[in-house]
Amino acid sequence: MYRLSFILLLFCFTTATAQQKLTSDKSFVVMSYNVENLYDTINDPDKDDEEFLPDGKNKWTSERYLKKLEQLSKVIAAPNEKNLPAVIGFYEVENKKVVQDLAATAKLKKGKYTVINYPSPDKRGIDVAMMYRKSKFNVLSSKALYVRLPEEPPYPTRDILMVKGVSGKTDTLYFFFNHWPSRRGGENESEKNRIAAAGVLRKAVDSISVNSPNANIIIMGDFNDYPNNKSITETLSADTLYNAGKKSGLFNLCYNYESKNEGTFNYKGDWGMLDQFIVSYHLINKKNGWHVNTDAAKILKENWMLYFNKETQESKPNATYGGSNYYGGYSDHLPVYMELTQ
């Protein structure tokens, strides 16, 4: 009886893990990942990166940097090593070079990734970047969208990265990569900054929709807000109920995670969905070419990516740092990914 119970338990565990894996080696996989302060070890005089130097507060050495690259590559390859993501959005990267170093790791180099990054005005030097496989996606244009904050605080925020490209012969895809202003100073006090970012994004989406009402739009990133916050539901007008009848043309694929107390970031024991996918309705409804289902967004949450607190009996993302304490983990966020199929 004990042996049978063990076998059943093993089967259930294996099945649960397999469900996180991707279904097809021919699908178009998109991932979004806040990689928690991916800095190099070189001092940049134009950035406030002193704490991430070998002699800085965090003692950020080459050994720690290389370890983090290997760990991140393990995460990125986890859904399906045979079918690496076609497009990946990164947040909290110092520059283009650190993403190129990540692309050159043993697990990812076969993807032959190309990197797009525009240095942002963030004083700490943390940027948004895109990594893509030329065999899967052909970039036609890219640009950085400047986000002007209402009161121009001493902490300028990141640009929004906009990329247009073609996958296959006819599918034009528009990507927006976001890392919206933090909740520094409090959620309510800082809300206007995220609303400002949402306004810039909404304007860019409208500029596409006016000429191409059936455009395939994919919005992703760390929004520092949840799917039901004003910046996303009102300013960006991303629907939380499928086919809600709004004219915005956008649907949040991650909304349901909130009601399940699941998410990508754990704050004081509570999980929240800061990292999200928002797509145009056309990408869901279309019958030909790449499309997604309403439940396409998945959280990559493997046990080896988590830290388990024995006292509280709770798990959270295994971070690289906690303050200036080095934990040696992956990131304080979990990534989200989704599969486009034909």
Find out whether 251 and 239 touch, Cβ atoms under 8 Å.
Answer: yes
Residue 1 in this model has a pLDDT that exceeds 50: no
**Mean predicted confidence (pLDDT) in 261-281:** 94
Query: Per-residue confidence at 258, pLDDT binned at 50, 70, 90?
Result: confident
Tokens of 175: 């990507």
Rounded to 5°, the CA angle 165-171-174 comes to 40
User: 196 vs 154, which has greater pLDDT?
Assistant: 196
Find out whether 108 and 80 touch, Cβ atoms under 8 Å.
Answer: no
Find out whether 82 and 88 touch, Cβ atoms under 8 Å.
Answer: no
Find out whether 159 and 200 touch, Cβ atoms under 8 Å.
Answer: no
Per-residue confidence (pLDDT) for residue 65, from 0 to 100: 98
Residue 180 CA to residue 280 CA, distance in Å, equals 20
Looking at the DSSP assignment, which residues form a beta bridge with residue 338? 30
Query: Per-residue confidence at 151, pLDDT binned at 50, 70, 90?
Result: confident
- pTM (2 d.p.): 0.92
> In this predicted model, what pLDDT tens digit does every residue of 314-325 receive, in sequence order?
899 999 999 889
- Helix (H) / strand (E) element for 270: namely strand 270-272
| Domains of the chain and CATH, by start | 26-340 (3.60.10.10)
> In this predicted model, what pLDDT tens digit does every residue of 33-66 receive, in sequence order?
999 999 999 999 989 999 999 999 999 999 999 9
Number of Cα atoms under 13 Å in the Cβ half of residue 20: 17
Residue carrying the six token digits 């304007």: 203
Residue 16 in this model has a pLDDT that exceeds 90: no
Query: Per-residue confidence at 310, pLDDT binned at 50, 70, 90?
Result: confident
Query: Per-residue confidence at 157, pLDDT binned at 50, 70, 90?
Result: very high
Percent share of the chain, pLDDT over 90:
78
